[in-house]
């Protein structure tokens, strides 16, 4: 694969590009092209690429069509809603996501969001800094994960990492997935499958780990929010539009649910006037759950291994398809 041309189309800083490239051989034919480059420059870079990596980029149809030689488009992200998968399939170019390279990072932040809400960490931190010692704690408004029912929607690599982490806090894990696990694997992982409505009705924490597709758009809507316990919290580290944000705002304002941890929003960057940002029972972050210094070499390593598979005549791993 040494002589294969690999092009990285990205929206990253140069130091992060170097980290990704460090997973490849020094004599590998690697080219980086920023999304800040003109469309014609991107087309020129990709037209003779054997393999393409993409991160924080939404290439136009013209750019994708120019990549006539490409044997695989490899995303360095788990999500793929910004990419024209239908066109890639028409062009006969397979596309793969990152194989769980950022699953630990996202799972860590999921648990962080749960604990921050349960322990009122952000408002309590503010109270301490402003001299209101213990003002926000009444003895009844903070909680433990132990014994709670955590419902995980989407039980792939990230969902399973979340399960392992909350089980370490003695929580009970329930899950919904498009394809349920075998009974043997459920037993091994100590998890139980529930249909969506039952999961929303019975779980104390609901955590979303699904891609954004036509089927998952507004999966969490007013009807499902109405099913939740008034003491339940909702965590979203997947994609903003998996939740009907207007319905969530109403549910939180009306105290239908107890809180939300949001790494993603329907519109990004989120508008500073969004009502969610003024709520003490919401913790928010800038779509950064999967971004840690530890992930970049893992992302690059998975891409390299997938390119090597294809170069050796094998099918790539973690291929995704247009829904």
Q: What is the pTM of this model?
A: 0.94
- Catalytic entry in 164, 218, 287, 309: 287
What is the spatial distance between Cα 138 and Cα 127, in angstroms, rounded to a whole number?
13
pLDDT of residue 1: 67
**pLDDT range class, residue 85, cuts 50, 70, 90:** very high
pLDDT of residue 322: 85
Closest CA to 108 of 314, 323, 301, 293: 293
Percent of the chain with pLDDT over 90: 96
Query: Residue 71: pLDDT above 70?
Result: yes
What is the spatial distance between Cα 157 and Cα 159, in angstroms, rounded to a whole number?
6
Query: Residue 190: pLDDT above 90?
Result: yes
- Catalytic entry in 41, 195, 268, 321: 268
What is the spatial distance between Cα 17 and Cα 300, in angstroms, rounded to a whole number?
10
Mean pLDDT of 59-77: 97
Closest CA to 10 of 77, 78, 101, 109: 77
- Catalytic entry in 239, 281, 298, 299: 239
Q: Is 178 a catalytic residue?
A: no
Q: Is 308 a catalytic residue?
A: no
Among all chains, which residue has been given the structure tokens 């990004």?
A: 268
**pLDDT range class, residue 315, cuts 50, 70, 90:** very high
**pLDDT range class, residue 3, cuts 50, 70, 90:** confident
pLDDT digits (tens, 9 = 90+) for 129-156: 999 999 989 999 999 999 999 999 999 9
| Mean pLDDT estimate for the chain | 96
Task: Answer yes or no: are the C-beta atoms of 28 and 6 closer than 8 Å.
Answer: yes
pLDDT digits (tens, 9 = 90+) for 271-299: 999 999 999 999 999 999 999 999 999 99
Q: Is 239 a catalytic residue?
A: yes
What is the spatial distance between Cα 158 and Cα 238, in angstroms, rounded to a whole number?
10
Query: In Å, how far are 29, 42, 212 from 96, measured between CA atoms?
Result: 21, 20, 15
Please give the backbone phi and psi of residue 251, each rounded to the nearest 5 degrees, phi first. -65, -40
Please give the backbone phi and psi of residue 243, each rounded to the nearest 5 degrees, phi first. -110, 135
């Amino acid at each position: 694969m040494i002589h294969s041309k690999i092009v990285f189309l990205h929206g990253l800083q140069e130091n992060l590009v170097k980290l990704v490239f460090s997973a490849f051989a020094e004599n590998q034919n690697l080219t980086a092209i920023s999304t800040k480059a003109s469309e014609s420059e991107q087309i020129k870079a990709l037209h003779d690429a054997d393999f393409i990596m993409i991160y924080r980029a939404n290439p136009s149809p013209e750019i994708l069509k120019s990549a006539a030689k490409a044997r695989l488009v490899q995303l360095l992200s788990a999500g793929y809603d910004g990419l024209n998968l239908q066109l890639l399939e028409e062009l006969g170019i397979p596309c793969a996501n990152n194989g769980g390279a950022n699953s630990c990072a996202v799972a860590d932040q999921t648990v962080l969001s749960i604990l921050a809400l349960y322990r009122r960490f952000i408002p309590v931190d503010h109270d301490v800094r402003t001299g209101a010692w213990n003002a926000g704690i009444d003895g009844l408004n903070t909680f433990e994960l132990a014994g709670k029912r955590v419902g995980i929607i989407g039980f792939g690599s990230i969902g399973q990492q979340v399960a392992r982490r909350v089980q370490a806090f003695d929580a009970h894990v329930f899950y919904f997935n498009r394809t349920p696990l075998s009974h043997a694997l459920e037993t091994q992982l100590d998890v139980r499958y529930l249909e969506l409505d039952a999961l929303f009705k019975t779980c104390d924490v609901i955590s979303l780990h699904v891609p954004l597709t036509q089927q998952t758009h507004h999966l969490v809507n007013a009807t499902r929010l109405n099913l939740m316990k008034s003491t339940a919290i909702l965590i979203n580290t997947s994609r903003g539009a998996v939740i009907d944000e207007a319905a969530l705002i109403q549910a939180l304002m009306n105290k239908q649910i107890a809180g939300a941890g949001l790494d993603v929003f329907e519109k990004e960057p989120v508008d500073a006037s969004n009502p969610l940002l003024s709520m003490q029972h919401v913790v928010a972050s800038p779509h950064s759950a999967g971004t840690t210094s530890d992930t970049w070499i893992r992302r690059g390593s998975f891409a390299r291994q997938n390119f090597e598979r294809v170069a050796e005549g094998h099918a790539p791993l973690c291929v995704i398809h247009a829904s």
